[in-house]
Structure formats: structure tokens, C-alpha cells
Amino acid sequence: MTLLVIVTMLLVYVGMNLILSKGLIRIVLGTSILSHAAHLFLIYMSFNNGEFPFDKVSKTQVDAIPQALILTAIVISFATTALLLVLVYRNHQLNKDNDVEHLGGANE
């Protein structure tokens, strides 16, 4: 059970580091990894009494609502990642660069 928490914290750390970088592709990867951390957190919250239903012979029940939320979140994160990749590709076509510092308005 604590392994799931540690993996979730590690994914949050890696995702936030990628989001705070200057490359647009790294930002897209960071949002994707951060969404995976949110999915793992929802899985962790769906278990009762800290027991996994697939461990040994446990009789615990799993709530179906967090599972439905996870499926919905997976679809939304996939669509968000696809949209961000299209925007990064279009920016690369126009500016020939994928750096955050070169985005923005007119030069002053």
C-alpha cells in the first residue's frame, strides 16, 4: 500500500519538474505524467481499509465510482495530451522552435 503512495509521489515530482522546464515537449510529457499520478491517487482512494482486492484472498469490496472517475480521467487526459501535441507541432511549424521563452507577442 505504501508502495503505491511512493510511486504516486514520485510521479508528481517528475511531472512537476517537467512542467516547470522550458521545452514545450517536456511540458506536455509533464502534464501526462501528472495525470497518471492523479489516476494512481484515485485508485489508492478507492480501496477500503487499506487492503487491495487482488491480494491473497481478501473479501473487501471496491467502490465502482472511483473506477468510473479514473476511466473518465484517462479519456480526458488523452484528449488534453493530443491537443497539446497538436499545438506544439503547430508552434514548431510557425516558429521553428519549441522553447517557452520564444512564445508571446511582439518584440519590444
What three-state secondary structure class fits 33? helix
Residue type, 55: D
Write down the residue that cell numbers 487499506 correspond to: 50
Rg (Cα) of the chain, in Å, rounded?
Answer: 18
Give the per-residue pLDDT at 51: 60
Q: Considering all CA atoms of the chain, what is the largest pairwise distance in Å, rounded to the nearest integer? A: 68
Q: Bigger pLDDT: 17 or 94?
A: 17
pLDDT tens-digit series, residues 48-107: 665 665 556 656 666 778 888 889 999 999 999 999 999 999 988 988 888 887 777 666
Per-residue pLDDT at 33 exceeds 80: yes
Q: Quote the CA–CA distance of 51 and 43 in Å, as a whole number.
A: 12
Enter the pTM of the model.
0.79
The crossing angle, in degrees rounded to 10, of helices 64-95 and 24-45 is 180
Q: Quote the CA–CA distance of 42 and 47 in Å, as a whole number.
A: 9
Give the per-residue pLDDT at 35: 94
Residue type, 28: V
Across the range 34-57, mean pLDDT stands at 76
